[in-house]
């Protein structure tokens, strides 16, 4: 069924675009992305690595009231997760715990949940590689339903399909989410 296939493909594409804009948008024509809106919690010492101590400092840069929120978490991309999974504490124990999929217990870092978001930058010079805080303070507003249209003339003799989604995002309290900045 071509209509179902096109609907799924457009929905996935719109979702990826919305995620990118809500993550890194600059607020001028795009939503103010959560990475852009976050405030600095910690400067990393090295441009290409993250240390255990820097993660602890990032966590404690966020007010304790936000650290107790049910929506508190880390956010980073998958390559950053791979690097963090290799970090050990002073006793040689990994700081990442795998959780238990069968019991519905997610993996965690330093006891906090995390989200993998491929729209975030990795660990590199000048990048905000890790976010931590209460993500419930980032508000998203979606206006109406996505619109989908067919464009015959522009792509004649082929057929073009276009879609729009109108949304905005803003961090309601900049103290709620902090980032780690690579030098």
Query: What's the pLDDT at 99?
Result: 83
Write out the two tokens for 137. 């303070």
| pLDDT < 70 regions, the chain | none
Query: What's the pLDDT at 25?
Result: 94
Residues pairing with 44 in the sheet: none
Query: What's the pLDDT at 103?
Result: 86
Query: What's the pLDDT at 51?
Result: 95
User: Residues 164-175: pLDDT tens digits?
Assistant: 888 999 999 999
Query: What's the pLDDT at 155?
Result: 77
Distance of CA 110 to the CA centre of its chain: 18
How does 146-162 read in b/e, with b if 16+ C-beta sit within 10 Å? eeeeeeeeeeeeeeeee
Distance of CA 13 to the CA centre of its chain: 17
How many angstroms separate the CA atoms of 10 and 159, rounded?
Answer: 15
Query: What's the pLDDT at 67?
Result: 96
User: Can you give the pTM of this predicted structure?
Assistant: 0.87
Cα three-residue angle 43-128-12, rounded to 5 degrees: 160
């Amino acid at each position: 069924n071509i209509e179902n296939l096109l609907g799924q493909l457009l929905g996935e594409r719109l979702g990826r675009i919305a995620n990118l804009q809500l993550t890194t948008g600059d607020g001028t024509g795009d939503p103010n992305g959560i990475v852009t809106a976050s405030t600095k919690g910690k400067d990393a010492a090295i441009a290409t690595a993250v240390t255990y101590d820097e993660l602890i400092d990032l966590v404690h840069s966020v007010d304790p009231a936000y650290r107790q929120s049910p929506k508190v978490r880390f956010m980073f991309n998958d390559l950053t997760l791979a690097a963090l999974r290799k970090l050990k504490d002073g006793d040689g124990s990994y700081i990442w715990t795998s959780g238990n999929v069968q019991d519905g217990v997610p993996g965690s870092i330093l006891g906090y949940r995390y989200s993998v978001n491929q729209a975030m930058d990795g660990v590199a010079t000048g990048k905000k590689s890790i976010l931590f805080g209460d993500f419930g303070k980032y508000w998203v507003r979606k206006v109406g339903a996505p619109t989908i249209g067919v464009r015959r003339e522009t792509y004649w003799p082929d057929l073009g399909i276009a879609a729009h989604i109108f949304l905005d995002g803003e961090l309601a309290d900049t103290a709620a989410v902090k980032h780690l900045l690579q030098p």
